[in-house]
Amino acid sequence: MRARRPVLTVQDLRVTYGGAVQALRGISMEVPDGKVVAVLGSNGAGKSTLLRTVSGTLKLHRGRVESGSVRLDGTDLLARDAAQTVRSGVVQVPEGRRIFGRLTVEENLRAGAMGNRDRAARAAAQARVHELFPVLKERSSQRGGLLSGGEQQMLAIGRALMASPKLLLLDEPSLGLAPRVIGQIGEVIAEINRQGTSVLLVEQNATMALGVADLAYVLDVGEVSLSGEAGVLAGTDEVQRLYLGHDADHQRGRRATSGRTLSRWTA
Amino acid sequence: MNQFLSLLLNGVSLGALYALIALGFVIIFKSSEVVSFTHGSLLLLGAYSIARLSGPLGFWLAVLAGLLITAVAAFLVERLIINRLRGAAVISLAIVTIGVDIILLTELVRRIGSDILNVPHPWGGQSVRIGPVGLSQNRLIAILVAGALIAAFFAAFKYSSWGVAMRASAEDGETAALMGIRQGRVSAVSWVVAGVLAGVAALFLVGSPTPGVTPANYAVALRAFPAAILGGLDSTGGALVGGLLIGIAEALAAGYQDQLLFLGRGFSAIVPFIVMIAVLLVRPSGLFGTKELTRV
Ligand SMILES: Nc1ncnc2c1ncn2[C@@H]1O[C@H](COP(=O)(O)OP(=O)(O)O)[C@@H](O)[C@H]1O
Ligand SMILES: [Mg+2]
């Protein structure tokens, strides 16, 4: 594929929690400008840790960057706190949606726009969000906690878009949703990307993620075990076996099952 | 009946002032996760500053300066201490605020000495009659000003960016940070607002029927504390209801003290705490609160 200037560059990143747990053991990756990059991995692989490091919330979890770098268009993101990171154009949709349940839908969106100082940009973001998610406009005065799971995920994504990010980070948006809704989320991500936002998508649901991604990385206990174009990766035995639920054991012999056990996605 | 109505109205005026102070407690708790015990000395600082500056500056400028001083003091406590201890246990932070309170209080008591400083309110000590019911002019104006401030506060809390940011970060601090909300700033604004509210309460609390600025004013903030707790420490509506409840209960107990003599003289001063304990026994998280204090 054609090389593009990366919007996000992660180099040799090592992260620990409480000085003991090594969550990331030296990973390197890139998000090319305008692309969707998927990071696959089972529970505990370090996916959320990667996003926390990028978004500047690692400290809230008592995590620490031991070495490595995270750069956005060449500027060092590790030196920025969460609020500054949002202002530089990187916004994370957290795992489990985490919408403000006691705030109305409209207030949730207002909260998302707090890092967006430009009035015109805020208005444009609001229009884009209502167009992508008409349901949020209909429900604007309802409390967030009353929305269904799928609607909450849309609110969480819409809220993040209110900051007009150039890079959107998504932590397992399919978690706990019905297959039909997961399909919609996939389409929304593709549409957001078409409108010019780069996306870093963390998932256990490989089918959805590889469906929308251009590139993918497989994270395994804090290390990148595979990477490449999403279509190619989807065809490899390892991804088929571990993430797409196809049993490739008969081709490779029994040794494949004797190693580590990885939990499969359950969404 | 007339006596009852009089006491009720006096209770409402006192309660509105308690509510101002209690609202400050609540927004500080919501935005900084701190139970602030500095309010007593902040209130006294406001009263002292207004009284001392009234001579050189005249009443109105002194009020402005007094509010400014209280707000700046609250701001400095947040910036210099609370903000740096973010993430510490609620109980340690509470004890830190007690420390700050003692330092400030000691200095103020030393300055006030045994004097009673007077604030020369342009409205005198006379009382007004509304139908059969009497109320000091000072307390009547207090009701009007406190009412307007409380209404403005609730409007800001509901509609302003600060209000949205504050409610978002109170509900989920990490996610608020992910949205670019600067919690330090939200917290600093909350302390400033709380300082101003305490300053306004101080202005009226040192007027008729109270004799003037004495270290005893300090105890008033302590009685607003049960108001905040019984309303639910994280509920602004609860602070309002709690303040009024405590104010009315205290005024009634004081008014009927002859009938309540069997409970001992000065019973009215402890009524706020008795009401608080009674409410908490029935509802441990307060009338409208969502968090139990023991769980934080
Ligand atoms: N706050 C934390 N404190 C200590 N260890 C943590 C914390 N968060 C995650 N970990 C550990 O770091 C590793 C990676 O976790 P995480 O990034 O959440 O993985 P994933 O999102 O892929 O499920 C796991 O071993 C997990 O137990
Ligand atoms: Mg995770």
Tokens of A151: 């609607």
Tokens of A81: 């706190």
In DSSP terms, which residues pair with A198 in a beta bridge?
A167
pLDDT of residue B212: 82
In a domain, residue B187? The reply is yes
pLDDT of residue A245: 64
Name which residue leads in pLDDT, A82 or A246: A82
Residue B174 CA, ligand 1 centroid: distance in Å:
16
pTM of the entire structure? 0.87
Chain mean pLDDT for chain B: 89
What domains sit in chain A, N to C, each tagged with a CATH number?
A: 1-89+165-256 (3.40.50.300), 94-164 (no CATH)
* β pairing state of A36-40 and A75-76: unpaired
In a domain, residue B235? The reply is no
Burial tier of B134 (Cβ tally within 10 Å: 0-12, 13-18, 19+): middle
Tokens of B292: 């139990």
Residues lining ligand 1, Cβ inside 6 A: A 17-18, 21, 23, 41, 43-49, 61
* DSSP code per residue over A64-92: EEEEEEEEETTEESTTS-HHHHHHTTEEE
In a domain, residue B192? The reply is yes
Q: Which residues fall within 8 angstroms of residue B76, CB to CB, at 6 or more apart?
A: none
Confidence of residue B214 (pLDDT cuts 50, 70, 90): confident
At residue B296, does pLDDT exceed 60? no
Neighbours of B129 (CB within 10 A): 9
In a domain, residue B195? The reply is yes
Tokens of B188: 């600093």
Atom 25 in ligand 1: which residue has the minimum CA distance?
A: A44
Phi, psi angles (nearest 5°) of residue A39: -120, 115
Report whether A35 contacts A229 (CB < 8 A).
no
pLDDT tens per residue, range A21-51: 899 999 999 999 999 999 999 999 999 999 9
Cβ of B171 within 8 Å of Cβ of A103? The answer is: yes
Confidence of residue B265 (pLDDT cuts 50, 70, 90): confident
Q: Is the dihedral of CA A193, A199, A204, A209 positive or negative?
A: positive
Tokens of B253: 């107990």
List of chain A residues whose C-beta atoms are within 8 Å of the C-beta of residue B167: 100, 102-103, 107
* β pairing state of A36-40 and A215-220: parallel
Cβ of A112 within 8 Å of Cβ of B172? The answer is: no
Tokens of B185: 């700033």
Which of B70, B98, B104 lies closest to B205 in space, CA to CA?
Answer: B70
In a domain, residue B165? The reply is yes
At residue A1, does pLDDT exceed 70? no
Ligand 1 pocket test, candidate residues A13, A15, A17, A170, most atoms within 8 A of CB: A17
Structural domain including B7 reads 2-123+132-216
Percent of chain B with pLDDT over 70: 98
pLDDT of residue B88: 85
Structural domain count, chain B: 1
* DSSP code per residue over B113-177: TT--B----SS-S-EEEETTEEEEHHHHHHHHHHHHHHHHHHHHHHHSHHHHHHHHHHH-HHHHH
Averaged over B254-274, what is the pLDDT?
A: 81
Which of A73, A254, A247 lies closest to A165 in space, CA to CA?
Answer: A73
In a domain, residue B181? The reply is yes
Percent of chain B with pLDDT over 90: 58
| Relative orientation angle of helices B2-32 and B137-159, to the nearest 10 degrees | 40
Averaged over B247-267, what is the pLDDT?
A: 82
Residue B18 CA, ligand 2 centroid: distance in Å:
46
d(CA B196, CA B5): 31
Tokens of A139: 């429900």
Which of A61, A78, A82 lies closest to A69 in space, CA to CA?
Answer: A78
Confidence of residue A246 (pLDDT cuts 50, 70, 90): low
B172 at A interface, C-beta within 8 A: yes
In a domain, residue B221? The reply is no
d(CA B218, CA B266): 17
* β pairing state of A223-229 and A215-220: antiparallel
Ligand 1 pocket test, candidate residues A21, A43, A50, A92, most atoms within 8 A of CB: A21
Phi, psi angles (nearest 5°) of residue B289: -75, 160
In a domain, residue B88? The reply is yes
